[in-house]
Chains A and B, each alone.
Chain A
């Protein structure tokens, strides 16, 4: 018994050394093995759930159909305008010799499992190292930021959600450049709430404003939507605001996410010149 306890203790101590990632051999291979169970179970259960959902939504289908027909007509007009703008944009780009490029490539992934312990918030995706996923890549949905990749196995990967208390996201209230309400967003003990700290107390912040990533944390790219402010405990000239945010992404019900194939750039030169960095060499 003492030997087994010691094995567990050593594993914990080894795992706790690096708080930013859970990338361990045992974890990677266990996740790969679990994928063969989780993927079929998720496929079957989501199929059944979708079937019942489609039956329950038949009631409102008629009224929804009328609204959608009207919306389609409006969108057709908007699409035509967009096409005109896109062709104009392309012409102007050709004139300026600018290459067409997407900001980030997105890899779609399905959630095949959630954290088996209720204490932590993480999810397992059906994309892994073989699909080009690497550590620390940001994960998003159409709603907003979900989290970042903290462990990668050949077939699956693990994403730590932004609601985790140890997560930290550099954020700004409103658009970058328009606002100087900068701070750090992290998780709280409440699953559906985030907390933004270190926002100066003399900056005006209102309930209902949107919070975006700044890109200054070296992990997440700038401009990703994090959530909306639901409560502000106002600070003063010397104390910062305490801001509560509701995540924009539906973290409880999401089934599909996008992995941004984004690698943060190298840290600035002055970081590398720090004494600790020199010692590590």
Chain B
């Protein structure tokens, strides 16, 4: 069920990436597929995250003027890095996920730019300016999307239940009579 939900989210993200720039130019600074890929990687399912990254990357590249596969390459590397981080470090808190999505966006942009330089097809846009705008845009959108996804998933419900019905710690009482003995 979780997989289906994330797949639907990824399809919506790709469609938004395809269409929103034509509606309002600043939407181009939000990387919707990357948000979903990072979320999938944070669920500690590496295979799903990496496949999502490649498929979404190629889907975006197909409609882009850049190299076919460049975005797929960058996103796959980012998905793996985020997965490895989530495996080693506790990242199940929304506040901790905010710097993760910002860092993921930055790494993604650096790899994307570097790969194009490697193949002698430098992007027209300025790296620093675009990277800064994209980090800001993607981080804000990512935080909102994560809130939405968490509210939709059962994760929050389980946590709330756990908080409300915390099992009380039973301390073992010693028999005072025995103590006196």
Contacts and interface: CB of A to CB of B under 8 A. Distances in A.
A, B: real partners: yes
Interface of A: 1, 4-5, 7-16, 19, 22, 24, 26-27, 30-31, 34, 37-38, 41-42, 45, 111-122, 124, 150, 158, 160, 163-166, 187-189, 191, 252
B62 A8 contact: no
A34 B21 contact: no
Interface string B86-114: 00000000000000000000000000110
Given A5-B73, A12-B68, A31-B62, A19 B121 contact: yes
A41 B116 CA distance: 30
Nearest to A189: B126
B28 A116 contact: yes
A115 B22 CA distance: 9
A98 B7 CA distance: 64
A250 B179 CA distance: 91
Given A41-B23, A113-B18, A26 B51 contact: no
Interface stretch (B52-60, B142-150, B151-159, B164-172): B52-60
Contact of B125 (A13, A118, A166): A118
Interface of B: 15, 17-19, 21-23, 25, 28-29, 46, 50-51, 53-54, 57-73, 76-77, 80, 112-113, 115-116, 119-126, 130, 133-134
Given A1-B50, A9-B69, A119 B25 contact: no
Interface of B is mostly: helix
Most buried by B among A11, A14, A19, A158: A11
B65 A118 contact: no
Most buried by B among A38, A111, A189: A189
Nearest to A45: B23
Contact of A16 (B23, B60, B67): B67
Given A4-B51, A113-B63, A15 B68 contact: yes
6 contacts: A8-B69, A8-B70, A30-B59, A115-B28, A119-B124, A158-B63
A120 B22 contact: no
B25 to A, nearest CB: 7
Contacts of B69: 7-12, 15
Nearest to B80: A1
B16 to A, nearest CB: 9
Given A4-B54, A113-B18, A164-B65, A120 B80 contact: no
Given A45-B23, A112-B22, A116-B21, A27 B112 contact: no
A89 B29 CA distance: 54
Nearest to B83: A1
Contacts of B65: 22, 115, 117, 120-122, 150, 158, 160, 164
Contacts of B72: 4, 7-8, 11
A119 B21 contact: no
B63 A30 contact: yes
Contacts of B46: 1
B135 to A, nearest CB: 12
